[in-house]
Structure formats: structure tokens, C-alpha cells
Amino acid sequence: EDQVTQSPEALRLQEGESSSLNCSYTVSGLRGLFWYRQDPGKGPEFLFTLYSAGEEKEKERLKATLTKKESFLHITAPKPEDSATYLCAVQAGSSGYSTLTFGKGTMLLVSP
Amino acid sequence: EAQVTQNPRYLITVTGKKLTVTCSQNMNHEYMSWYRQDPGLGLRQIYYSMNVEVTDKGDVPEGYKVSRKEKRNFPLILESPSPNQTSLYFCASSLGRGAYEQYFGPGTRLTVT
């Protein structure tokens, strides 16, 4: 069974204080790892897709990296508007269709 | 604007009263899916559809039905809602069965009393 574990569950940062969120996964045949941002009461918003170990993607203050066992979402010099829950999801399986398995998320609060 | 829409956004109903939550996407996506999100449990998939007239169960399908008669629409049907179906529901769509990102709707908050 595919498993996705995110840590920490919650993280409080001061504005400008860089940090990283972790997503560790156990799957058989990773096809893609996804990062989403979710604001309270709203639908998840797509951030990145990573397909293979060593891959990195960046968007503004966010940078996602991938190894064979985990992914990190690095937040550089965060601002209060980066406060949200960040979700990690994996799609696995060597053939055919496979569902997305989501982690429970990391709730990030950035204080001014 | 490319989007996934859901209606209603909020719904309070009573046990046993059939209801339908609609979902529509304007991106010509083949794949659509329904999730529920509960505190401490995260997002869990209810049903998905890989194309018109093709649907399959996700992780938590009990108590739900879906249909896919048109590519753009994927309604979620609760024929006899129960209080344990009180949750936040999201519809999502993506290009196809591969590792494509999913685009989520704004959510429907359902309360069953």
C-alpha cells in the first residue's frame, strides 16, 4: 500500500525565516510526486510535479526537490501570504491507472 | 478562465434525503475525480472517471454514486446521506490517466444532521 507521510504537521516561521517541509513516501513504482497549496476552506492549488530522483523545480520562494524516498519543499524568506497548508501526493504503479495518495499536509504559519 | 466548478458550495441536509453535488470542468479533461477531506484524515478519493461512461471506485466509495454522461460533468450522488458523510468535498480534473496534475474545484461543505 502506498504511504505518504508529511512532517512537521505544523510549522510556525517568522517572516524571512527559511525552512523546509518534508514528504516521505513508500510506493511501488513512482510515476509522479505532486505538491499542492491549500488555503482554509478552498481547493488545493497545484504547485509542482516531480518525476524522478534528483529533479528540482522552483516557483518564486518555493523550491521542490525529490530523492528516492522523500521530497522537500524549501521555502526561502517566506512572507505572511505563504501561510497555508502544503499537501504532498504521489501517483504510483508501473502500468495502467493509479490513484493519487495524499499526505495529511503541513500547516505553515508565517508571522510578520 | 480554465476552472472546475462545484454546486452547491454549502449544503445542510437531513439523514436520508437524496442529494446531488454537481461538478463541471471547462478544460476538456478526460479524467475527473471526487475527494472528501476530513480533519486528521486528509484527502481521500471517493470515485474517479477516466472518460465518458467509465467510472471506478476510489478508497472510500461506500454511500456514494457517480455518473459521467458528458465529458465536462461528473456529479456526485448521495442517495441516502448519513451524518458520517458530513465532510468537505472536492471535485478535480486532469488531462488523463498519466502523472498529470489535478485541478481542484472550490469545495462543497456538506452537513448531514
**CA of B90, closest CA in chain A: separation in Å?**
7
pLDDT score at A100: 83
Q: What is the pLDDT of residue B98?
A: 72
Cα–Cα distance for residue pair B81/A110, rounded to 1 Å: 39
Weakest-pLDDT range from A8-12, A15-19, B61-65, B93-97: B93-97
By Cβ distance, the residue of A45, A96, A100 closest to B45 is A100
Contact B103, B33 (CB under 8 A): no
**Residue B12: pLDDT band by 50, 70, 90 thresholds?**
very high
d(CA A48, CA A88): 10
Kindly report, residue by residue over B27-55, the tens digit of the pLDDT. Answer: 999 999 999 999 989 899 999 998 999 99
Q: Residues 53 to 82 of A: which have CB under 8 A from any B CB?
A: none
Interface contact flag, A100 B4, Cβ < 8 Å? no
Interface test with B, best of A51, A99, A101, A104 (most B CBs within 10 A): A99
Chain A contact present for B45, CB below 8 A: yes
- Rounded to whole angstroms, the Cα distance separating A45 from B91 reads 12
Closest CA to B93 of B2, B1, B4, B21: B4
Q: Cell numbers of B11, please?
A: 449544503
What's residue A94's pLDDT?
57
Average pLDDT of the segment spanning A29-51: 94
Q: What is the pLDDT of residue A96?
A: 56
Predicted confidence band at A98 (pLDDT cuts at 50, 70, 90)? Answer: low
Q: Using an 8 Å CB-CB cutoff, list chain B residues near A59.
A: none
Enumerate the residues of chain B whose CB falls inside 8 A of the CB of residue A32.
Answer: 99
pLDDT at position A99: 73
Determine contact, residues A44/A37, Cβ cutoff 8 Å: yes
pLDDT at A27: 85
Q: Is the pLDDT of residue B76 over 90?
A: yes
